Amino acid sequence: MGARELEARPVSAAFPRVVLFDLDGTLLDSAPDMLAAINALRGERGEAPATLEQLRPHVSKGARAMIAAAFPQLDEAAREALVQPFLDAYEREIGLHGRPFDGVEEMLAAIEADGARWGIVTNKPEYLARQVLPAFGWDARSAILVGGDTLAERKPHPLPLLHSAQALGVEPSQCVYVGDDERDILAARAAGMPSVVALWGYRLALDDPETWQGDVLAEAPRDLLDPAAWPL
């Protein structure tokens, strides 16, 4: 289907000078790693493994959302007590099962070949995000990495995006943020940063990306190989 624009805009001859990406559900299909971590917890409790289909829609919502989906019988306090054990289990599984989404490497290579820069702004704790990147060589290629605990605020607050733009020496309006969750688009809009909705990522059945007011909706990473598909 290709990228779908919400408003008409002039055709660009080059990629945006800086592209910032969400990580889980946007660059990385990390659901298999998350599933392994959840199932380690379920196994410790004598429960049958969860399935990828059950967990996948919740991955971009964070650890607490995945725990709630995997342990719906537990109350909030009991689920909260599982957050750190889940993160510990996930740390043991990082990079063992997940892979970049199909077409992501081509997209990143095209951005780099154009002389543009790209970075990562995620709500994943920074110490975990930093462990993900080396498996794909992204630690040497990403211009910046901001995690969910790097700053005083996380998405949907605009601070992580504003901080990244400032650190890279560009105005927010000259960056583009790509993400698969509504929080990503809210953060971009609050930062005054154009956005791309990654429709290939993780969403709940009730999520409607058409209502998020992103500037471009892209079906697949390869739809973003053409600089004209971007909102700048």
> Does the N-terminal peptide bond of residue 156 adopt cis geometry, omega within 30 degrees of 0?
yes
The values of phi and psi at residue 119, to 5°, are -150, 180
Nearest to residue 33, comparing CAs of 109, 77, 75, 96? Answer: 96
Kindly name the residue from 22, 29, 33, 184 that is annotated as catalytic: 22
CB 103 within 8 A of CB 220: yes
22 is in an annotated binding site: yes
Instruction: Please name the residue that has the structure tokens 């989906």.
Output: 69
The residues, any chain, with a CB within 8 Å of residue 190's CB and separated by 6 or more, are: 156, 157, 158
Structure tokens that stand for 222 in this block: 């390869």
Sign of the torsion angle spanned by Cα atoms 117, 120, 156, 72: positive
Clarify whether 139 is annotated catalytic: no
Let me know how many helices (H) and strands (E) the chain has, helices first: 9, 9
184 is in an annotated binding site: no
208 is in an annotated binding site: no
103: left (phi over 0), alpha (psi -120 to 50) or beta: left
Residues forming the annotated binding site for Mg(2+)?
A: 22, 24, 180
Residues forming the annotated binding site?
A: 22, 24, 180
Catalytic residue numbers read 22
